[in-house]
Each structure stands twice: as structure tokens, then as C-alpha cells.
Chains A and B, each alone.
Chain A
Amino acid sequence: MIKVNSFLGKFTLFAAVWAVFSLSAVYAAEITILNVSYDPTREFYRAYNEIFAKHYKTLTGDTIIVNQSHGGSGGQARGVIEGNPADVVTLAVGYDIDEIAAKSGFIAKNWESRLPRNSAPYTSTIVFLVRSGNPKKIKDWDDLIKSDVKVITPDPKTSGGARWNYLAAWGFARIKYGDEAKAREFVKNVYKNVIVLDSGARGATNTFVQKGQGDVLLAWENEAHLSINELGKGRFEIVYPSVSILAEPSVSWVDANIAKKGTEKVAKEYLTYLYTDEAQRLAGKNYYRPSDEAILTEFSAQFPVIKLLTINSDFGGWEKAHQAHFVDGAEFDKIFAELKNR
């Protein structure tokens, strides 16, 4: 009888100690803000959060911890709409921030004009990452539709980068072949060669680099540089196509959340500080094109000048482009449906 009680007793004691230990550990006080971002910004924001914490400490004396959340840009936006308590969002496409503004009202509709340069503190573009020596001789977009080329790109439904990839291909074909119908045919042929469709840019890079799949990865310029430096110098090469697209990852504070949490000052300072020389250089070091012209020229060796299309002048803005290509039943879905019936 005593044995039973002691068995139970020990168990209860163990459970209680365990619970108390875990509870106290999790709820230790921290002043934090949450940055909900897209996939390839992990390394940049890790570095940026450090310099920002230092800056903020000297500015106010407060200790700041920035929590990061990364994923496909569309999915991250949906998370914020769903109630993920982001103080700031730093997403791959402005459209995702528009979505948050439209669907939840957590962000003011005029967000784009609240920070300098369309609220895009750094830009990037889409390049090709190929295996060293470029065995398939991939030089430009039209090499992607050769029958022996296997392409890796993520799913435009969930990945912001993938939408830039898609539009860049479309834009190239429109220039080269002259009209929309031929551009569509070209994009279709590119996706015919796609062998893996990951949900985010990082997944796609892993598939190409780590799993060794495919001959070419359509990647963010920064992601391509990072892959070479982090994962294997000499194993990959970057190919700049003749035309690409100016990708403007956008940032905004989330009005409703910062008001609720009282983090307005930190959140705004966090984004404003992105435009300082120090932060701009850090962006350059992390292979993002600084939006500050002067600092961009400091990195000119790293960022070749190529013809860049823009979403506003070449595709009529994100709203239009998204409706035409990426909503359910739009071009992308149709293209895939046709490919299946091929």
C-alpha cells in the first residue's frame, strides 16, 4: 500500500517540479518586438537586429530583443491577418502588405508612402544559380525552355520570390517575342521544365543546393550569393540574364498591433533605421541592393547593372499583376492545368 502511494507521490512531485520549472522559464520578462519576414532575409535581419539593439540601447537605454518569423511571404502575410502579433512586417512583395491592409485593416492603406522610397529600404533582383562550369550553358531566360534543362523555382501561390521569378520570365518573353500570348507560351514552357515546386524560396534553394536537384535555380540575387558563400564556394555560379525585374521587398509597421502593445516607438525606429548608412551597408554586405544610390555604388562590383523591369511600369502594379496571374483560376493555375493535360 505504501509503495503505491510513494509511486503516485513521486510522480506528482516530479510533474509539479517540471511544470513550475517550465512555466518560470517561459514567462521570463523580455522587451520584444516581432518582425514577420519572408524566407531569405534570415541572415540579414539576424545581423541587423544586433546593430539595431545597440543603436536603440544608446538612444533610449532600453534593451530590445527582436523575434523573427520567416516563411513564404504570402503565408506570412496570412499569419498576420490571422492574428500573428507582428510589430513590423518585412515582406517579399508589397502586395502581401496590401493584403494585410485590405483584409484585416491592421495596417493603414497608405503604408507605402510612410517610409522613404516606397517603403522599400533595399531591393533585389532575380538571377540564375547554376552548377559550376555551367554545364547546360544557361545564359539567359530562353535557355530555360530547352528540353534538357531542369528548373527549380518555388510556388508563386505561397512564395513572394516565386512571383518575381514568374513575372521576370514573362517580362523577358514579352520583350523578346513581342506579345502577351507568346509571353504566356514562354512562361508555360519554363514551368514545363520545373521539377520541384517548394513552398518558399529557402525550400527551393535547399532542393537545388542540398538535394542536388535541377540544373538552374531561379533565385533572389541575395539568396544566390548567400548559397555560394554559405554552402559551397566553387560549386555554383551566378548567371545574370539580359533582363530581370526590380524586386522591391517592402516593410511596414503593423498599426493595430503596435498600438495594442505600445511598441510604436520601437517599431517605427526599427524600420527608419533601415535607411541609415550603417544599415544600408549591412544590406549590401548581405547581398541586398541598398536603396541609397551612394551606398549602392560602393557595392557596384557586387551588383552588375542589368536591365530591370518594374512592377509598376511593366505590369501595372501588384494589384493588377496579382489578379491577372496568381489568384485562384488565373494564369498560373491555367498554365499548370494545361501542362498537366499535355
Chain B
Amino acid sequence: MGKKTSRLPGFHLTLGLSLTYISFLVLIPLFSLILYSARLSPTEYWSIITNDRVLAAFRVSFSSTLIAAVVDGFFGFILAWVLTRYAFFGKRVIDALIDLPFAIPTAVAGITLSYLFTANSKLGRFLMDHDINIATTNASIVIALTFIGIPFVVRTVQPVLQEFDKELEEASISLGANFYKTFLKVILPSVLPALITGFAMAFARGLGEYGSVIFIASNMPYESEIVPRLIVQKLLNFDYKGASAIGTAMLVCAFILLLIINLLQHRLQRRLN
């Protein structure tokens, strides 16, 4: 460990204990998965993760998550805008409820959202009467992932909008630029890093999401099967090799996303300061 520049006590104790805890809880379990998949030969590994059904699942996962994250980006920005700039009745309640998808168990979200699109609910019946099929299309996956991801966008954009340098915008308006120009040239560029960060977080969370999606998706191989469900299916089938191979592939995706998010956040922090 490097030099400790602090006069405070407890460095070795706290760091030592935390490191031990992280090792046992996070590192060793993660390595157990990676080591297990390392038993596969490279060609075996490659043939598992490039299997058509697996690739199709990755395609479904990535495309649904991407669409959901874009929808979240759009509505998340609007919600953050509305919550920071307008006063209206019930604003505090709505502000608190934005985090509901984060606080509510995914299984509850899953059964509730899938229930909404069945013939039991008015909405579901309305959609069926008008031949709008959500329940058995990937739209259902997108809906679940949109629900899961919305707080991430709102909560990263909101503080930036709040601490937005008003003078800058005022200056721009006083210089004669109209609102649209101000928005495009001043507001959007400043908010964009936060928006992208929120988008990336929603994306990362959505990519791995399981609970809410399996209740609502139709889980058809090649069409509407997401990667986490495929892992569980392999696991249930006693196909540990397959599960570990796809699991590590997912792990790599997660790490890359985490890296991107951290870089984005780093830049965001610098900009804010």
C-alpha cells in the first residue's frame, strides 16, 4: 500500500477488513465463475457464445435495452426539466415517486406490468380490441426495461439542470439569441454529458435485468429471449459450461459498461467543478 499521508488512525484496520470482505463477497465468487469457464477450451467457449441462439439472445438484449434507454433518455430529460423548472401541484410527490422503479422489487414490477397488458386490465383490453399486440412482442421487454431505467436518467440530469449556470443562459438570451438557439447552443451541451451518463446507467441496468422481464416477455428463442433468461435456462438444464461461458461474456459487457460510465462520470464531475 502507498504512503499514508493522514494522521488519522484505523487505516490498516478499515482497509484490511473491507478488502477481506470484498474479496470474499465479490472477488472470489466472481473468479469462481471465470475459472470455471476457463476449463473450456477457447474453441469450445467460442462455439458456445457464437451459437445462433446465444447470439440472438444478445441481439434481443442489446436492442431492447438500447431502445428502452433511448426512451428513458428522452422522457428522463423531460421529467428532469419539468421537475427543476416548473412549479405545479403534486411536484414533491412526483419527485419522490420517480425512484419507485428503483425501490420496488423487480418481481412486483414484472407481474404488475404483465398484468397491465392482459385482458384483465382495461388498458390490456383496449389494446387487444385495437389489435395492438404488446404482450407477445418485444415491446413488452422494452416497456419493462424503460420502467427499470427511468430513475437513472432523471437522477443524473436533475442536479445538472438545478445547478445550471443561469447567468450563462441569461447572458445568451441578452445577447439576442432566442430560446431555441439558447437551448441548442447552451443548455443541451451542458446537460448532454449527464444525459449520456444516465443513459449508460439505464443501459447497464437494463442489460442484466431479469425479474421484471421474464414475467412479461414471451421468451421465444431467437426472438424474445434475453441473455439472463438463457443463462438461467442453461443452469436449469444442468449445462454449467454453457451458463459459465455466457455468464462471463455478460460479465465482460458489464465491466466495459462500468468503465464507460466511470469515465463519463469523471468528465461530468470535472465539468461541474
Contact = CB atoms under 8 A, between A and B. Distances in A.
Q: Check A-B contact in the complex, CB < 8 A.
A: yes
Contacts of B237: 74-75, 78, 157-158, 328
Contacts of A99: 238
A3 interface: no
Given A196-B219, A340-B222, A212 B119 contact: yes
Interface residues of A, number: 27
B268 interface: no
Interface string A219-249: 0000000000000000000000000000000
Contact of A195 (B52, B115, B220, B222): B220
B219 A199 contact: yes
A259 interface: no
Given A78-B238, A340-B56, A213 B136 contact: yes
B236 A78 contact: yes
A155 to B, nearest CB: 7
Interface in B214-242: 218-222, 232-233, 235-239, 242
Contact of A74 (B114, B219, B236): B236
A79 to B, nearest CB: 8
A158 B221 CA distance: 13
A103 interface: yes
Contacts of B232: 199
B257 interface: no
A194 B238 contact: no
A72 B232 CA distance: 12
B120 interface: yes
A158 B236 contact: yes
B218 A340 contact: no
A87 to B, nearest CB: 21
Contacts, number: 69
Nearest to A73: B236
A188 B54 CA distance: 20
Contact of A197 (B115, B128, B220): B220
Contacts of A212: 118-119, 124, 128, 135
Contact of A211 (B56, B118, B239): B118
B135 A157 contact: no
Given A158-B233, A210-B120, A197 B221 contact: yes
Contacts of B119: 211-212
B56 A75 contact: no
A339 B118 CA distance: 27
B236 A337 contact: no
A211 B133 CA distance: 11
B114 A211 contact: yes
B236 A72 contact: yes
A196 B117 contact: no
Interface string A330-341: 000100110110
A215 interface: no
Contacts of B239: 328
A211 B117 contact: yes
A65 to B, nearest CB: 26
A336 B223 CA distance: 11
Contact of A157 (B56, B114, B124, B233): B233
Contacts of B205: none
Interface in A264-293: none
Contacts of A103: 238
A197 B219 contact: yes
A196 B218 contact: yes
B135 to A, nearest CB: 5
B14 to A, nearest CB: 18
A157 B238 CA distance: 10
A195 B136 contact: yes
Nearest to A159: B236
A198 interface: yes
A212 B116 CA distance: 12
Nearest to A78: B238
Contact of B219 (A75, A155, A337, A340): A155
21 contacts: A74-B237, A78-B236, A157-B236, A194-B220, A195-B220, A196-B136, A196-B219, A196-B220, A197-B219, A199-B233, A199-B236, A210-B120, A211-B114, A211-B119, A211-B135, A212-B124, A212-B135, A213-B136, A336-B222, A337-B53, A340-B52
Interface of B: 52-53, 56, 114-115, 117-120, 124, 128, 135-136, 218-222, 232-233, 235-239, 242
